[in-house]
Structure 1
């Protein structure tokens, strides 16, 4: 069984991207061929030239909500909340800084207040009930909230649109499905004209911000995220499972497809997933993956490690540094690729 240290690597701090490339599709694209082990350098704008017509593109159209709120306890003291998911009836799950006691009242601008109504068993999340009903509440939250960009993005000045895909439509995400940040309207239009394109919705939640704390992967409890696959998309994706190949845009899309697949069928679902993918997981739905470069020891790095090793390629995974993916990361570092959310991309074929 693998341990956390098996997925570690060293990254120079100056490789962490602090802002997106403009235009978005001019980000670098490292292409890794699992069959030939060949690694080549391109741009995201080259995408259609790199994949054969049989590939069916699948994207996560979730929308990032400005879920970071700043308020004040009624008794004094500043509070920061990160809303992680709506629970209905003006109630949201959240992470608070500092941790708040039950029944603590919080005051925000725009005459909005909230109360802590519950604390989760693990003590990390709070449920808070706001004083306004929906949809008035949602309108105020859009005014007072800010985009919860990851902590490794230190520079201010990024707009909410920088951290939103151009095809974002639905949902409530605490973080962007970052592989999708590389698409421009022109590239998307070209793909839709020449290839099959479908969208699913997975709401990126709390787990995106949580490090793996257990040494053994078997002991890690994966976070749960809600997703939706429409009947129309499910039928189209099911057809491509046997007649084409699915190219997942991002790990959130891959996670959704691997949850929904059963045999040669992808079901129309509105549900949740807590699937934890790491070597030697066998992928059943996804044949190619467009993804960013991920943090050391993260569940996302573990998923991509599984995709690039046995039984999904002929290379056994022993640890990240000696793996095909680890070699690709070292090549990326040596060639000044930019890492993490605003960074460059990798296409795994």
Structure 2
């Protein structure tokens, strides 16, 4: 492996602004799909509804069934100052990691609709805050908050989708098989499946669902000069006994999305842990051990997600594929098009 593959600057590229998808393809499976076959070094340009024609016959699929919560909340301080709060993740039953736009001190009470109050407990150096939530003076557990924010919260669209969320996003920024509430960002490769296509694929191929609650750290660019110095964010995961059986087998795996990939690969390295905190960073110096094929979207420059793609194909090929995608006018990021690596 060349030292170039460890330099963060090697994963930079220029993306024309008009290729950042701000709305999803409609219908979902009409998105474009770039297929790269590593054994023949061939590239195919098709649509997502053609996916079944390219899935290897002897493999199983792994999906992430996390469900995006309405994590963006708008409230105000007792002084009347406006505050925007983004839930990041639950640290335990009561301590919630959040990002707050607006100045707050420890002890500040932020007031939302439905008598929901966030009490700021701690300011952390990297910019996040720890808060506890209350309603009518009763301390709320994380699971108590979910039905309240479902009423008053907003879909946490990524920062590069520079528009307000709308009613359509409540469905579109959610996979058709989303089940377990807790993510603040969608596992975006999953967004391309229609209900019909997903059912069809699942009827033809062995499959399993794992859960990784995607945090906002997924969008954080690598800021160190050398990628191995990057402190990887941690996210809660859960692998059912049924999924464990598949992962422990010899059957080749097609992982649907980078989040599924990170979860499978974390489990393979820590087999006694079926649930907990995953913080695995896959890159060309830390390649996948269990996942054979990858379905993914096109990711941000200098992101851990692009580096994960490079862990499958190497830096040079990853950047070549991205260059081709730009020339072919593929749409990028969460609502963008997809790539299948065989």
What is the TM-score with the length of structure 2 in the denominator? 0.92
| 1:77-96 CA distance string (max 9 Å, x none) | 11111101124444421011
Pairwise CA distance, 1:232 = 1.4
Contact 1:37–1:324 (Cα < 8 Å) also in 2: no
Partner of 1:337: 330
Pairwise CA distance, 1:118 = 1.8
Change (3 A) 1:89 1:155: closer
Inter-partner Cα distance in structure 2 for 1:5 and 1:91: 36
Partner of 2:87: 83
Partner of 1:129: 132
Query: Does 2:245 correspond to 1:235?
Result: yes
Instruction: Identify the match of residue 197 of structure 2 among 187, 202, 209.
Output: 187
What is the correspondence of 1:153-232 to structure 2 with a 5 Å cutoff?
Answer: 153-156=161-164, 157=166, 158-232=168-242
Change (3 A) 1:202 1:37: same
Query: Does 2:338 correspond to 1:328?
Result: no
Pairwise CA distance, 1:123 = 4.1
Partner of 1:254: 261
Change (3 A) 1:96 1:297: same
Count of aligned positions: 331
Query: Does 2:286 correspond to 1:281?
Result: yes
Inter-partner Cα distance in structure 1 for 2:126 and 2:328: 43
Contact 2:221–2:301 (Cα < 8 Å) also in 1: no
Pairwise CA distance, 1:308 = 0.7
Query: Does 2:114 correspond to 1:110?
Result: yes
Inter-partner Cα distance in structure 1 for 2:100 and 2:162: 20
Inter-partner Cα distance in structure 1 for 2:145 and 2:215: 20
Pairwise CA distance, 1:266 = 5.6
Instruction: Identify the match of residue 20 of structure 1 among 4, 18, 24.
Output: 24
What is the TM-score with the length of structure 1 in the denominator? 0.90
Inter-partner Cα distance in structure 2 for 1:14 and 1:206: 24
Which deviates more, 218-227 or 124-133?
A: 124-133
Change (3 A) 1:199 1:268: farther
SS in 2 for 1:161: helix
SS in 2 for 1:192: helix
Which deviates more, 128-137 or 13-22?
A: 128-137
CA RMSD of aligned residues (A): 1.7
Inter-partner Cα distance in structure 1 for 2:58 and 2:321: 25
| 1:114-167 CA distance string (max 9 Å, x none) | 2101223x2411111112235653322111110111111124434211100000
SS in 2 for 1:131: strand
Instruction: Identify the match of residue 57 of structure 1 among 61, 64, 79.
Output: 61
Query: Does 2:312 correspond to 1:307?
Result: yes
Inter-partner Cα distance in structure 1 for 2:78 and 2:163: 31
Moved over 4 A (4+): 265-268
Inter-partner Cα distance in structure 1 for 2:205 and 2:271: 19
Inter-partner Cα distance in structure 2 for 1:275 and 1:261: 11
Pairwise CA distance, 1:219 = 2.0
**Which 5+ residue runs of structure 1 have no aligned equivalent?**
310-316, 318-322
